[in-house]
Amino acid sequence: MTGFHCAVCGARLSAPVREVAPPAEGEAWTPLDSPVDPCPPRMAAGTFARDPEPGRITWGPLPKGFKRFRAGHGPGVDPVLCPADLVGTVKVPGRWIGCCGPAGADGPNLACAGCGARVGLWIGDCYTWLEVVLDGRLVRRPPS
């Protein structure tokens, strides 16, 4: 198992994780419909899945040399992780917006602590799954 690293500076962004199939839509709860409190994250700690939705991370400045859109930046490119697996990231000021937690609708709200590249979204509002979606253009997973 290996973790994710920043493609800009090489800093580690996650604990070691292994790839699994994404949970079916009915297998993950939002805080509003969860039978347990606190609501569990969409992904179990130590796992990640490729986001089945096309490019939820589509705006915000990219570091020099990185293309805003590229072939293949669609479904199955961006890794989805458990928030507990994050390391080496910081909140982006002004982007941690939501009613009960960050909704993820205001652009990337996680930056690499090493270089400041906006590497992902922490999503965890009352009506959303609790998850982290990393920008597949700005993260790398070294071979194990």
Structure tokens at 99: 């009613």
Q: What is the pLDDT of residue 70?
A: 43
Q: What is the pLDDT of residue 106?
A: 82
139, β-bridge pairs: 6
Q: What is the pLDDT of residue 62?
A: 47
Under DSSP, is residue 47 helix (H, G, I), strand (E, B) or coil? strand
Residue 50: in which H helix or E strand, if any?
strand 47-50
Q: What's the CA gap between 11 and 79, in Å, rounded?
A: 17
Average pLDDT, consecutive stretches of 10 residues, N- to C-terminus, the chain (144 residues): 93 97 81 83 94 60 49 65 97 90 87 96 88 91 76
State which residues form the domain around 30: 1-144
When divided into structural domains, the chain yields a total of: 1
The answer to whether 67 and 77 have CB atoms below 8 angstroms apart is: no
